[in-house]
Structure 1
Amino acid sequence: MSLTEEALRDDSEKLVYYTGLPSWITLMTVFNLISPFLPEKNANCKLTPFEQMIVFLMKITHNFGHLDLAYRFLVSTSTVSRTYHRVLDAMSVRLGHLIHWPSRLALRTSMPTAFLKFYKKACVIIDCTEVFIETPSDFLARAQTWSNYKHHNTIKFLIGITPQGTVSFISRCWGGRVSDKEITETSGLLNYLEAGDVIIADRGFTVSDYCRLAMCEIVIPPFTRAKAQLTKKEVDWSRELSIVRIHVERVIGLVKQKYSILQGTLPLSMVGGIDMLGNGDAPIDKLVKVCCALTNLCPPIVPMD
């Protein structure tokens, strides 16, 4: 049951299981980045900086209850709660740069084979995903977070990945009621685009007018509209598009699989005072950023050949 530095260094299986990170070197790289911002163990802080990081990683990786973690580390639940928010703030600041929009040259010189035939100008694949939250007591917040798609109160955010499979863009979190189109147009994605870039997305992202402002193109699957069915050419095109678009869903699945805190129903205390119109920097924004940044430290899931 030991979760000391020595125990994790000498047991790679235990390290991966409890932290979600692929190696001891990766874990210590993260620790060296955030440790200057964590207090030393003293009368007011019962955990060492390393233990504080492990408590946080165990919380987001397995969504252990605060009481469970308190028993494991022989501290109070209030200490676990303070530790969670303290490490979350440190990681949000120190690891935020790992969610990076690469240059056009970097993208095109390392483009995976699957994109070279039809989508060699692709710079980002986008999709929205939702995380369940407790039902707010405030009626306005309850309405703004209600998702007709999930039939639950949720928060929603836009995620963009590179063709290589790394997370390159995260929007702030909104209430689940917002549409994919609205969150895309107000997310700031336009600021990263260059003339001639290609965005790949699903059918709900009808933002072609938005993309024209940056002289870009968005590629989405064709609609049947008034037609009984798609033409053979449209079916073939949809098939080719789905081969590359599926990667964003795989990355979203990877983030939620590695950090199961995003799979459950988050208490409102962990969501924080989020503005349901997507303004402000709430704890849930920091959590999503940290989970995606840590995922970027793991091997990519998009094959290069």
Structure 2
Amino acid sequence: MEQHSKCYCSVPFCSNSKRKQPYLSFHDFPKDKHLRSKWIAAIRREENVTFTVLRGSTYVCSQHFRSEELYVKEGGSRSRLKKGSVPSRFAWNHFESRHEDRLTPYERASTPLLLNTEAATGERVEQGLEAMLTEPNANAMEHDYCRPPSPGKMDAAAARIRELEQKVMELEKEIKQLTLLADQPKLNRFCSTDEEFRFYTRFPSEEVFMMFWGSVAPSASRIVYWTKAQREAYGTPSPHRKLGLIDECFLFLCRIAAGLKEQALASMFKVSLSTVSRIIITWTSYFYLVLGSQPSWMTRQQVQATMPKKIHQYCPEVRVLIDCTEVRGETATSVTVQSESFSHYKNHTTFKSLVGVAPCGVITFVSKLYTGSISNQELTRRSNFTRLLQPGDGVMADKGFQIEGMLAEVGATLIIPPFKRSVQFTKEDAEKTQAIARLRVLVERAIRRVKEYHIWDGVVPLSFTGLVNQLWAICCLMSNYQGPLDIMEDKPV
């Protein structure tokens, strides 16, 4: 009969069950009345109202049979009994199936006090009393380890050991996976597609980002935080870097490109708020130094080689296109500062910058941010933009730039859309206006790319005043890594 999980041993003081000890086999009482009566007498039970032998529900476990009485049928998995076998291994004849059935050393030493114990242990108490009368020191010398463990306990221990070994292997595998995951750059957890890289970093793809990182990684490895310099000055050791270099770079890009707040970044990267602030300050200075040291101003030969054909046809002498743009800033409490930074064009407190773009769409010049009340002419003069020009260069701007005299000092010319002097433009003026307008769109697109860095979405706080110039230059120069602007020469603007 197939054994189910609710098999229980009917021997007194044995609590084995198929659910707790699945490695044991449970055997029905025999059908032969004579042999069944031997089983009942052997287990010291009597059939009455409280105990009835029922086929399929009354069992004796395999621990109460000798090993030679058990066998496994060929091709089978369950132990079977030899014909005529009778259970003979019990707690009262010195076979303990469970640890709790054994007497403790204190109980064995105190056997005279246990004369009124249960009937199942009476025989053991009598033997202990007899041993104490004949050999008074016999129980005092006996210990738990004097007896070898029972076969049932050895089987249970072996099964438990195998179970624990399997659990240890699983935990070691899990620890290894967690270690590998911890060693991987955290950017891999957030960026798995080009769209995610574009959102978090503004780089068009993972390939472009990794190329950029490969170019700056050697110098980034020598970054020293200003806090570390302070600690070394006072003899205090610097703390261990909690993030890898590439993760710190990614954190900085998440701040300026995705516009994530510092508290959100601290939660994402599992670091403190002060660590996030230190990383942003350090990498702002680093990128401003690295990107600002690279030559961004294009030579006349480079401009001519990359100039669109349509522009070259009407404005071959153009070297750069310029325009001013503004970002909103927090209003100061000082009336004087408010008046200086208030922009009548935006009707708000702003910071203003001059941006220069080559005809191919690359930003080649970025000025510092000035207060919003400054005029375009004054901003152009203060930015020292004209020092980069050569005689014969053409500078394209809108009609609001009155800088002809300033450009004439260095031999450059101002290219602006022609003014309407009659009722209708001539064909040449119309084509030139269209060409200039098409090229002017490049400046707007380039500036729009810069402002798509979400750090400029809100109002620039006054606490950012010390970093705002560096962040503005970084965003302008990094926008060039997004690829060429779309110049549709065959379509009117």
TM-score (norm 1): 0.87
> Highest relative contact order (Cα 8 Å, sep 6+), 1 or 2?
1
Secondary structure of the corresponding residue to residue 56 of structure 1: helix
| Range with bigger deviation, 13-22 or 215-224 | 215-224
Partner of 1:43: 239
Aligned partners of 2:310 and 2:435 also within 8 Å: no
Partner of 1:169: 365
Q: Distance in 2 between matches of 1:235 and 1:270?
A: 45
Aligned match for 2:480, one of 281, 296, 304: 296
Q: Distance in 1 between matches of 2:368 and 2:435?
A: 31
Q: Distance in 2 between matches of 1:208 and 1:37?
A: 46
Partner of 2:461: 267
Correspondence 1:23 to 2:218 = no
Q: Distance in 2 between matches of 1:99 and 1:174?
A: 23
Aligned partners of 2:193 and 2:206 also within 8 Å: no
Q: Distance in 1 between matches of 2:203 and 2:257?
A: 10
Partner of 2:439: 244
Aligned partners of 1:99 and 1:167 also within 8 Å: no
- Taking structure 1 as reference, are residues 175 and 128 closer, same or farther at Cα in structure 2, changes over 3 Å only? same
Q: Distance in 1 between matches of 2:190 and 2:315?
A: 43
Q: Distance in 2 between matches of 1:37 and 1:286?
A: 20
Aligned match for 1:211, one of 398, 404, 407: 407
Q: Structure 2 matches for 1:168-207, cutoff 5 A?
A: 168-207=364-403
What is the deviation of 1:261?
1.1
Secondary structure of the corresponding residue to residue 62 of structure 1: coil
Aligned partners of 2:265 and 2:276 also within 8 Å: yes
Aligned partners of 2:185 and 2:244 also within 8 Å: no
Q: Distance in 2 between matches of 1:139 and 1:223?
A: 40
Aligned match for 2:332, one of 116, 127, 136: 136
Aligned-pair identity in percent equals 29
Q: Distance in 2 between matches of 1:73 and 1:9?
A: 14
Which runs of 5 or more structure 2 residues have no equivalent in the other structure?
A: 1-183, 226-237
What is the deviation of 1:219?
1.1
- Taking structure 1 as reference, are residues 99 and 67 closer, same or farther at Cα in structure 2, changes over 3 Å only? farther
Aligned partners of 1:21 and 1:27 also within 8 Å: yes
Aligned partners of 2:314 and 2:432 also within 8 Å: no
Residues 232-253 of structure 1, C-alpha deviations (whole Å, 9 max, x = no match): 2355543332111111011101
Residues 1-25 of structure 1, C-alpha deviations (whole Å, 9 max, x = no match): x972544675333222211112334
Aligned match for 1:13, one of 163, 188, 195: 195
Q: Distance in 1 between matches of 2:370 and 2:383?
A: 10
Aligned partners of 2:390 and 2:411 also within 8 Å: yes
- Taking structure 1 as reference, are residues 230 and 61 closer, same or farther at Cα in structure 2, changes over 3 Å only? farther
Q: Aligned pairs, how many?
A: 290
Aligned partners of 2:306 and 2:359 also within 8 Å: no
Aligned partners of 1:203 and 1:221 also within 8 Å: yes
Partner of 1:284: 468
What is the deviation of 1:201?
0.3
RMSD of the TM alignment (CA)? 2.5
Q: Distance in 2 between matches of 1:98 and 1:163?
A: 20
Which runs of 5 or more structure 1 residues have no equivalent in the other structure?
A: 273-282
Partner of 2:248: 52
Aligned partners of 1:113 and 1:304 also within 8 Å: no
Q: Distance in 1 between matches of 2:185 and 2:337?
A: 40
What is the deviation of 1:91?
0.5
Counterpart of 1:296, as a letter, is: N
| Range with bigger deviation, 5-14 or 294-303 | 5-14
Partner of 1:280: none
What is the deviation of 1:98?
4.8
Return the index of the structure with the highest Cα Rg.
2
Aligned partners of 1:181 and 1:204 also within 8 Å: no
Partner of 1:232: 425
Q: Distance in 1 between matches of 2:442 and 2:262?
A: 34
What is the deviation of 1:213?
0.6
Secondary structure of the corresponding residue to residue 79 of structure 1: helix
TM-score (norm 2): 0.55
Aligned partners of 2:324 and 2:352 also within 8 Å: yes
Aligned partners of 2:363 and 2:480 also within 8 Å: yes
Counterpart of 1:35, as a letter, is: A
Q: Distance in 2 between matches of 1:68 and 1:3?
A: 18
- Taking structure 1 as reference, are residues 163 and 220 closer, same or farther at Cα in structure 2, changes over 3 Å only? same
